[in-house]
Amino acid sequence: MDEELKKRIADWSYENKYDKIIQALGSLPVSELDFFTAHRLALAYNNRNRLQDSIDLLTIFESEGENDAIWNYYLGYALLFSERKEEARKHLLKARELNPKVPAEDILHYCVCYDGSSDDLINESLSKWVCEMLGGEIADGIVYLPKFRSTIEVHADIKQDGICTATLFTKVTLINEGVCFIEYSAGIGTDTRDAISSTLGDFYNGFYSGFRNMHSGEVSAELKDSLSRVWKVYASNMTMRGKGHGVADTVYWELLKQAIPDYLGSRDITYVKLFGAKQDASITAECRVNDFVSQSLGDLLHNSVAEWKNSGFATLKQFFFLVCEDEREPYPYSQEQINSHVKAAVEMFSNPDIDYDDIFDKLSAAIGDANLANELFGFIPEICAEMAFGKIKSDDKFSISTDGAESETKYTKWQITSFHMICNALNQGFADSIYPENAFGRCVAPSSTYGAVLKAKEEGHDMEESGGSIKHYYSFHKDYIAR
């Protein structure tokens, strides 16, 4: 084949003129095609839904193509949309292995075997898909990723009422880090297949894209925290619905980067999620750090969303994963151990025979760690008070002073590793009713939040109804060290 025709074929392929390629090459004997022109013709067949022609042609070039990423991708594509999913999966995974930049991953989610109505089959296939995408190991439906000492669970909830909807629940747990990321992806369709495909697309382009970048080392930015530790930032794609945002993908990291160092604690990984929505004058803006809402960062996002020039309803969602590059002393307690210590503390708060002023010493003796005893004694009442008074929020930042110190140190809730582990323990403990019946009220009573509510009532203000934000100050033992 002359070089001039090959050049025209390349140009037509770049310009998506697939009919011209088929007209020029489709009638030629296969013996006159080389590997390059066979690729171009197979691509043209795929784009004109002549899938069997593409499969037949590519199969002839198997000996040359079996270790070629593009050949495997084109064949996988044709097999997939010919409903030969397992064969397609093999070739798409091979294309991804040979060259991660080949867009095989973009369509691999269509290989999920969601035929039929069995929830067990759907969820088994979803777990298999996540495992294959991230190169993990799977047992009992849970994917384990050795590189990040983490597990991933996925579960789809499908409902059909006129139109089919699917919700994908994703739970990522960082083993021994006390951090759990929970994300919901949603999609709609005319049937189960369409709804699952839509949902996986939302998951793939959002949360998964950020976790994949972290897993593969695609760094978006670097920063240093207050302890001069280096953190690498891995960003997801920004997923947007609606038109007229007028916002570039990089804006939201630029918005956060000055404030984020104050939210980095002793964990190896910190997870940040942004969600914004606007319709007319109605604005929603939420920022979560390790799955807990940050009021201060949410306010930054709110100001940005308010500037959108959208018409109608518009949303955005983006994720950032921050990984500490410096070695550090691991936090000494797992979530399970914190759960046990929180239970012991709550039982002491609930015991009328134990004087409130003696609880710290008894806790310190019981668990053998004065640092954690300080945190349990100080944080539990305020966390319970925030649960009791839903409209009253505690500020992201609080101050800690120690006995004899002339100054106080400011922290965010995320810089004290135990804070949100204690939150998790209390939420789960009260949900499971493992504490004494009087526990909740006895834990709320000594809080400064409850004191502020009572004082406001004396002055004629109802904070329970009007809400507000409270900044906390803690006085800890003189040897206290923040971890």
Are 174 and 279 members of one domain? Answer: no
Query: Exposed/middle/buried for 162, CB within 10 Å: 0-12, 13-18, 19+?
Result: exposed
Residue 370 forms part of a structural domain: yes
Per-residue pLDDT band at 225 (split at 50, 70, 90): confident
Residue 28 CB-half CA count within 13 A: 16
Residue with tokens 């709804």: 195
Are 252 and 381 members of one domain? Answer: no
- Bin 138: left if φ > 0, else alpha if -120 < ψ < 50, else beta: beta
What pairs with residue 475 in β-bridges?
A: 401
Are 346 and 388 members of one domain? Answer: yes
Are 197 and 285 members of one domain? Answer: no
Among 276, 294, 324, the domain-final residue is 324
The CA-based dihedral angle spanning residues 350, 355, 361, 362, taken in that order and rounded to the nearest 10 degrees: -50
Are 258 and 206 members of one domain? Answer: no
CA-CA distance, 439 to 425, in Å (whole number)? 14
Are 340 and 382 members of one domain? Answer: yes
Per-residue pLDDT band at 78 (split at 50, 70, 90): very high
Res 329: pLDDT: 78
Q: Which of the two residues, 114 and 398, has the higher pLDDT score?
A: 398
Q: Looking at residue 319, which CATH number applies to its domain?
A: 3.30.500
Residue 482 forms part of a structural domain: no
Are 351 and 469 members of one domain? Answer: yes
Are 132 and 176 members of one domain? Answer: yes
pLDDT per residue over 164-221, tens digit each?
A: 888 888 888 877 565 778 888 888 888 777 787 778 878 888 888 898 888 888 999 9
CA-CA distance, 133 to 152, in Å (whole number)? 12
CA-CA distance, 363 to 162, in Å (whole number)? 57
Q: Looking at residue 20, which CATH number applies to its domain?
A: 1.25.40.10
CA-CA distance, 469 to 364, in Å (whole number)? 31
Query: Could you tell me where the DSSP H helices lie in 163-280?
Result: 192-203, 209-216, 251-256
**Torsions phi, psi of 184, nearest 5?**
-115, 130
Res 117: pLDDT: 54
Query: Exposed/middle/buried for 14, CB within 10 Å: 0-12, 13-18, 19+?
Result: exposed
Residue 286 CB-half CA count within 13 A: 11
Q: Does 12 score more than 80 pLDDT?
A: yes
Least confident of 125-139, 245-259, 288-302: 245-259
CA-CA distance, 343 to 370, in Å (whole number)? 17
Residue 82 forms part of a structural domain: yes
Residue 483 forms part of a structural domain: no
Are 387 and 463 members of one domain? Answer: yes
CA distances 362 to 348, 358, 366, 426, Å, are 9, 6, 6, 20
Across the range 424-434, mean pLDDT stands at 95
Are 212 and 233 members of one domain? Answer: no
Max CA-CA distance within the chain? 96
Are 142 and 188 members of one domain? Answer: yes
Among 286, 301, 324, the domain-final residue is 324
Domain range for 343: 335-476
Q: Does 115 score more than 60 pLDDT?
A: no
Among 324, 346, 366, the domain-final residue is 324
Residue 481 forms part of a structural domain: no
Are 100 and 120 members of one domain? Answer: no
Q: Looking at the 3D structure of the chain, how many domains does it have?
A: 4
Query: Exposed/middle/buried for 228, CB within 10 Å: 0-12, 13-18, 19+?
Result: exposed
